[in-house]
Amino acid sequence: MKDNPKYWRNDAYAKVTGKAKYTDDIKQYDMLYGVPVYSDFVHAKILDIKTEKAQQATGVVRVLTCKDVPGTNRYGQIIKDFRIFADDKIRYNGDVVALIVASSRELALEASRLVEVTAEEISPVLDAEEAMKNEVFVHENHGTNVINHHKIRRGNVEEGFKQSDIIIEEKFETQFVEHAYMETEAAVCTLRQDGVMEVYGSMQHPFSTRRFVAAVLGVDLSEVEVIGTPMGGGFGGKDDTAAIICARAALAAKITGKPVKISYRRDWSVRESYKRHPYKVYYKMGLSRDGKINAVRCKIIADGGAYCSVTPWVTWRSTVQCCGPYVVDNVHCDTYGVYTNNVVTGAMRGFGSPQMNFVIESVMEIAASKLKISSIGLRKKNVVRQNSTTITGQVLNNHIVSMEQVLDTLIENFDYFNKYRKCSFGKSDSDELYGVGLAMCYRGMSIGAEGVDFNSAIINVQKDGSVLLETGIHENGQGAESAMILCLSGELGIPKEKIRYRRPSTSTIPDGGTTVASRGTLLGTSAVVNAAKILKEKITDVIGNILNSGADKNLIFKDGKILGIDGKSITFEEAISVMYEKRVYPYSFGVFTPPMIDWNEETGQGNPYFTYVYGAQAIELIVNKKTGKVKLLNAVAVHDVGKEINPGMLRGQFYGGMAMGIGYGLFEKIKIKNGRIENLNLTSYHVPRSVDLPEMKALIVENNDPTSTSGAKGIGEPANELMAPAVANAIYNATGIRYYKLPVMFEGDKNIKDSVNKK
């Protein structure tokens, strides 16, 4: 079957035929298996952990606890408060107290039931807002339950409210959400003969895993080599937890001297891994009668769970984008990440934006209704445009600000105004209530001023003209490898089949940062372009005279050939052969570092991101007022992607993101009772099925981004951020009922049915 270049992926054949080798597929001689041991406590002081019975069980080689860690037992990208094994306290129900290492997983599982934990219970801290004033601390040495406090201070908020004709003041709440990746966490570790710990795992950032493994083992970074395997999904969830599981497997491998595999069951994964942050948001907006937003006051409280993880980074994004894609001169925002004894929260697709987009886009609809004006008109009145100044004082002048272009494209292709006129607003002679809703956003690309952004690429051309490509970006399953191959194919003018992407090892390429924040394609392809430019300069220097180009360096690389100015050409393979003959190695190393950005943490002013992506989404649906069932009909998403590289993968990101956003808005929720998760598997935690989804259409706007050498922007997270508010707005336009909590259908259809019937 011939490839369709629009939908080509370098890993497609291996995955659809079952030949892709995931971590759990790795088998090694004399391999041992690790099983985690949990306790039933939520918050407790550990008095004793008895492992003797487990140690004597059949097949058990070793039982590991915190006492067996030769290096550090602490981990954290920001605050080192995670424990590889619980030591002084149990801080949430997912804390691991021991690891059973046995000859089989089944025997390890049996032995895990024999570990006895004696502890003194402490009253759990389960509400983030209460935890801020609670004298019971999750981490005593921290002295408070507040993890971080971010601010925006711009203009004079009180004066802005005085100048306003209407005030909107509401409270919103969102929920814990599970990543629900198909492949659970897994690691395989082997102590090689050269003394290097070799780590294979399903992870988003091999380099942070290497740092933690080395720290736990008490060895240098050079004594640990981490190799990421194909991933069955991550969505931000395979960073901290993945590193900790790899560290446990590495510790077991070092102590036993044998290969060790840890492969998580679904209930272990749900219990231990971090979730999307639930938010409480107090939001106040003042507007003039003509719709101009004069002021916003906002208080955001994020439940960080038992450990810090990346809560400060997630909540920072929520802070700097707390007013959405709108110009507001007077802003006062306080955002708090807070420790509780709930499950840990951290990075998840959207990274602090989905929660705030639900709030902002709901408030815009509420304001339009109160002002009796069109919500589209209200948005356009306040939207960011070219050279606008954001709430952080950043002037948007270094890229094309396409928010209005994106919105207009959505309105036209969705036929929004005609559909809006048909909305029921709670009044219908039939049982079916019809509604449409939309939402829009802008999103700062990559990590921003809270982190360090860079990436590198290595191009290594073999004697036969085939190419090995390697970058510091790790493939999460989204198709980043394919995007970089296609990018290099275009730069060198050679068939994509001639390029092989080498899955990066921490021993062969510099750290390119974690594959999160929609940065993979943007930074990955930009580094590839820079490396390709260096390689082409090398090739030109060697073969320029052959093509009679003289001082002209502008050779054309196309269709497997290199052409000079007079039309004379040489094949790419011939050019490489000449380079080897002249002992000029066709190898290049390219780096991409985004433009500098700056930030003042005290005032919340500065340039938080070097560029932005703009998006808008709309959905139409029907609510059955007798049953409360919501039927999704059609959804359209429009995003400015900078430059399209692979149409198929791009649309896959759109559709996957939209589906995840629908689940977030309608029914996904981790149920927690007294600190314990109740829905520990995918039979009780419901994700959208194909029958739950609408017909979806993805439209792109292309404005090449000048801040990246490839012109591309990321789309993985923007695609995920807007369906929840669009659905909530559509349900309002169908029923006349505004929902201030997500998900709106958590108790099946009961929420909506009861609300409609009370109206």
Domain locations in the chain as residue ranges: 24-122+189-263, 279-448+601-758, 454-592
Cβ(314)–Cβ(351) below 8 Å: yes
CA nearest to 183, candidates 245, 226, 112: 245
**Who's near 481: CB < 8 A, 6+ residues apart?**
10, 11, 475, 501, 503
**What is the predicted pLDDT for the residue at 467?**
96
Cβ(186)–Cβ(263) below 8 Å: yes
User: Over the Cα atoms of the chain, what is R_g?
Assistant: 27
- pLDDT at 186 exceeding the cut of 70: yes
Higher pLDDT, 329 or 715: 329
Cβ(237)–Cβ(226) below 8 Å: no
Predicted confidence (pLDDT) per residue in 315-340, tens digit: 999 999 999 999 999 999 999 999 99
**What is the predicted pLDDT for the residue at 647?**
82
- pLDDT at 448 exceeding the cut of 50: yes
By CB atoms closer than 10 A (0-12, 13-18, 19+), residue 563 is: middle
CA distance 197 to 183: 24
- Cα atoms in the Cβ-side hemisphere of radius 13 Å centred on 614: 26
Cβ(416)–Cβ(436) below 8 Å: yes
- Token pair listed for 105: 């997983």
Cβ(300)–Cβ(286) below 8 Å: no
**Who's near 247: CB < 8 A, 6+ residues apart?**
75, 84, 209, 212, 213, 216, 217
Confidence of residue 517 (pLDDT cuts 50, 70, 90): very low
- pLDDT at 215 exceeding the cut of 50: yes
CA distance 624 to 628: 5
**What is the predicted pLDDT for the residue at 516?**
47
- pLDDT at 648 exceeding the cut of 90: no
Largest CA distance in the chain: 84
For residue 284, list its beta bridge partners: 169, 297
Looking at residues 75-90, what average pLDDT do you find?
96
**What is the predicted pLDDT for the residue at 756?**
65
Looking at residues 31-54, what average pLDDT do you find?
99
Higher pLDDT, 135 or 369: 369
Q: Do domains 279-448+601-758 and 454-592 have the same CATH topology?
A: yes
**What is the predicted pLDDT for the residue at 716?**
82
- pLDDT at 535 exceeding the cut of 60: yes
- pLDDT at 748 exceeding the cut of 70: no
- pLDDT at 450 exceeding the cut of 80: no
**What is the predicted pLDDT for the residue at 1?**
41
Cβ(302)–Cβ(281) below 8 Å: no
Confidence of residue 112 (pLDDT cuts 50, 70, 90): very high
Looking at residues 603-617, what average pLDDT do you find?
93
Strands 432-444 and 676-677: unpaired
Predicted confidence (pLDDT) per residue in 373-412, tens digit: 999 999 999 999 999 999 999 999 999 999 999 999 999 9
By CB atoms closer than 10 A (0-12, 13-18, 19+), residue 687 is: middle
Taking the CA atoms of residue 515, residue 517, residue 518 and residue 520 in that order, the dihedral angle to the nearest 10 degrees is -30
Looking at residues 409-437, what average pLDDT do you find?
96
Per-chain mean pLDDT for the chain: 93
- Token pair listed for 288: 């003039």
**What is the predicted pLDDT for the residue at 521?**
66
CA distance 711 to 645: 10
State the pTM of this model: 0.93
User: Strand 630-640's sheet: what is its strand order?
Assistant: 432-444, 612-624, 630-640, 695-701
Cβ(559)–Cβ(410) below 8 Å: no
CA distance 641 to 613: 7
Q: 279-448+601-758, which class in CATH?
A: alpha beta
Instruction: Read off the DSSP letter of residue 525.
Output: H
CA nearest to 311, candidates 65, 13, 565, 81: 81
Q: From the options 1.10.150.120, 3.10.20.30, 3.30.365.10, 2.60.120.330, give the CATH code of 454-592.
A: 3.30.365.10
Taking the CA atoms of residue 579, residue 581, residue 583 and residue 586 in that order, the dihedral angle to the nearest 10 degrees is 30
Most confident of the ranges 144-153, 475-484, 520-529: 144-153
CA distance 346 to 81: 14
Please write down the HEC assignment for all residues of 669-681.
Answer: CCCEECCEECCCC
Higher pLDDT, 543 or 2: 543
CA distance 557 to 551: 17
Cβ(737)–Cβ(756) below 8 Å: yes
Confidence of residue 545 (pLDDT cuts 50, 70, 90): confident
Fold of 24-122+189-263: Aldehyde Oxidoreductase; domain 3 (3.90.1170)
- Token pair listed for 498: 């001639």
Predicted confidence (pLDDT) per residue in 627-640, tens digit: 999 999 999 999 99
